[in-house]
Structure 1
Amino acid sequence: MIRLYDTKDGDEIAGYIFKENVFASSYDSFLRQVPGIQTLETLEECELLVIGYTRLQQLYDELPKMHIVARKVAEQRFINAQLMLSSFILDSPEERYRKFAVQHGDLLLRVPHHIIASYSGITPVSLSRIGRRLMVQ
């Protein structure tokens, strides 16, 4: 697993948690070919396949169907971003935690809770309270 995070005032703010077998990147940095403002960090031991921008462009020329793969990856990243934005606008912290638990319950045992709290836009203390409250119900 890999997390993508930003740093502000010394605090790490999780932007996304990539599970196994997906494309993980600071996508805007990759596409624009500029230094990224985000950091990628492995959360578990990983075996990574890495491709550079120039080589990807060559693959597009050599294997035109790679355009479809890239489009599908970009579409999924867009959908994920839209869902996260909507959740931050519409859902309470407890609702965000519930959704995270339903969609990514396995991560509750694999990812440090302060990272899950950051990803969910909740303080670690609030995440702990919400988790305890939901366990009692």
Structure 2
Amino acid sequence: MEIVQIVGLGLIAAILVLVVKEQKPMFAFLISAFAGIVIFLFLIGKIETVIEVLNSLAERSGIEPVYVKTILKIIGIAYIAEFGAQVVRDAGQDGIASKIELAGKVLIIVMAIPIISVIIETVMKLLPA
């Protein structure tokens, strides 16, 4: 039922934004940003649960913890970049939002290099010499 609370908060925020936008656009943006942050904070507990489960699965399967941590960081970068870009888009700054998304993609590629290297090394070992 948490989704009902999240949707309810989103609807209330959207209505407030529509009412306030004509008179005070800055307040409308702040309401929108605040609602997004509250929703994000509400989900942090759920994210922690997912991280614990993934770490447990990695330990049981013998995967190096560094790879799981790297993948979780990559996922975090993707979510944070998307959230930031959406907030900036709400403020009417599509150009800056695009730059945030680009920065997120570049950081993801940089973080993925060690994993890509291991995959390539593993494939090379499997191929006949």
Tell me whether the two structures share a fold, i.e. TM-score over 0.5: no
Which structure has more helix as a fraction of its residues? 2
The TM-score with structure 1 as length reference comes to 0.30
Larger Rg: 2
- Higher strand fraction (1 or 2): 1
Structure with the larger RCO, 1 or 2 (CA within 8 Å, 6+ apart): 1
